[in-house]
Structure formats: C-alpha cells, structure tokens
C-alpha cells in the first residue's frame, strides 16, 4: 500500500478524509465546465451527495488496498483542495498501475498536475515496485497529453471508443511509462 501522505516542494498529497467534503465539493463545482468535457462522472448536474459518495468509496478502496486517491494541497494553503491524483492496479500479474487526475480550473497551467503525478510515479516505481504505469487520455485533451509527455510517458496507441462521455463513445490514447524508463529519466535529471 502507498503512504497516505506524500510531499513535493510545493505540494502535499494526502488520503481523503470526511472533513474534506466542502473543499472537494467547491473544487469540483467551480471546475465542472472543464471537467465535464473529459471525465464521465463530472455531470453538469453533479450534486453534494456525489462528493459524499466519492469520499466514502475512496476510504473503502484504501481499506481494501484496491485504489488510492489523494487530495492535493498547496503547502502554503493546506486547507484548500486543488487537485486529485489517483492510482489503481490494472494487472497484478503484469504489475501495471493506472493513474487518473484533475486540477481545479483556477489552478491549471501552474505545473501542479505534473508535480503531483511525478511524486506518485516515484511512489509507484520505488516503494510499490510496479513495472508499468498507464494513462488513458481522451483524444483532443491536449493539456493532459502535455502532462504525459512532460513526465516521459510514451504513447502506445489508440483505444477505440474506450469511454462513454456525455453520450458519445470517445477514443482514448494509451500512454505508458516503464520502471527502467522512469529510473533512467530520473537519473539524468538528478545528474543534470
């Protein structure tokens, strides 16, 4: 199981608690127009109860060692939820994890996603010994493609009609990063 709290220079990534309801709900509501385009759960009629259900399911998934969601906070403003990053296992045999993420709209393009996902990659490859981490990104989601590229992910190909979003089946690209690639990228960054 990953650690329940991780840190970077600017960020704290922490397991959700029931106390996070209001700040998470506020982040989702203020970001719905952006989230709605790419994430199936982000319906425009999203309700407070959906946030309760998310936190309840997230706590249960941690308990069952099944999936790990983190609330991302800026260290300088630790009471405010600015992003979600999540990790779950897609293959025990292949030691493959998948990540998901979103950032509240008034905090995008500040490098928060790249920094938070970078920290989760370290946990996945160093502490949890995953062999491969994957991302599924809707075709056209250029900001998310950019995050994948900045972190060294390689685009494997297209998953046809992978997810139903707002009534349309959307093709996604599959991106991956393998442990030796991560280590080599990390080594060259440390040496630079």
**Which residues of the shown chain bind ligand COA in the complex (CB under 6 A)?**
34-35, 38-39, 101-103, 108-114, 137, 141-144, 146-147
User: How near is the Cβ of 100 to ligand COA at its closest, in Å?
Assistant: 6
Choice between 64 and 76, CB closer to ligand COA? 76
C-alpha–C-alpha distance, residues 159 and 115, integer Å: 26
Q: Output the CA–CA distances (angstroms, integers) from residue 4 to 56, 65, 81, 118, 172, in the order listed.
A: 16, 12, 16, 16, 30
CB-based contacts of 85, cutoff 8 Å, min separation 6: 13, 69, 70, 72, 99, 100, 101, 113, 116, 117, 120
Tell me the two tokens of residue 67. 């999936």
Choice between 110 and 187, CB closer to ligand COA? 110
User: How near is the Cβ of 131 to ligand COA at its closest, in Å?
Assistant: 21
Residue with the two structure tokens 């075709």: 139
Q: What is the dihedral of CA 161, 137, 49, 21, to 10 degrees?
A: 170
C-alpha–C-alpha distance, residues 99 and 27, integer Å: 20
Choice between 6 and 39, CB closer to ligand COA? 39
C-alpha–C-alpha distance, residues 172 and 162, integer Å: 6
Choice between 11 and 55, CB closer to ligand COA? 11
User: How near is the Cβ of 104 to ligand COA at its closest, in Å?
Assistant: 8
Q: How many CB atoms lie within 10 A of CB 149?
A: 13
User: How near is the Cβ of 69 to ligand COA at its closest, in Å?
Assistant: 14
Choice between 48 and 110, CB closer to ligand COA? 110
User: How near is the Cβ of 120 to ligand COA at its closest, in Å?
Assistant: 13
């Amino acid at each position: 199981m990953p650690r329940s709290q991780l840190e970077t220079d600017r960020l704290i990534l922490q397991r959700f608690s029931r106390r996070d309801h209001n700040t998470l709900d506020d982040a989702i509501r203020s970001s719905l127009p952006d989230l709605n385009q790419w994430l199936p759960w982000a319906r425009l009629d999203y309700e407070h109860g959906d946030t309760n259900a998310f936190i309840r399911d997230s706590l249960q998934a941690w308990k069952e060692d099944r999936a790990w969601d983190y609330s991302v906070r800026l260290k300088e403003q630790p009471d405010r939820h600015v992003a979600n990053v999540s990790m779950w296992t897609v293959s025990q045999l292949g030691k493959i994890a998948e990540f998901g993420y979103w950032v509240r709209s008034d905090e995008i393009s500040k490098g928060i996603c790249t920094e938070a996902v970078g920290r989760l990659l370290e946990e996945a490859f160093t502490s949890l010994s995953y062999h491969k981490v994957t991302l599924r990104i809707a075709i056209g989601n250029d900001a998310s493609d950019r995050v994948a590229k900045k972190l060294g992910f390689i685009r494997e190909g297209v998953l046809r009609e992978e997810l139903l979003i707002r009534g349309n089946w959307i093709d996604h690209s599959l991106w991956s990063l393998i442990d030796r690639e991560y280590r080599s990228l990390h080594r060259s960054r440390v040496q630079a």
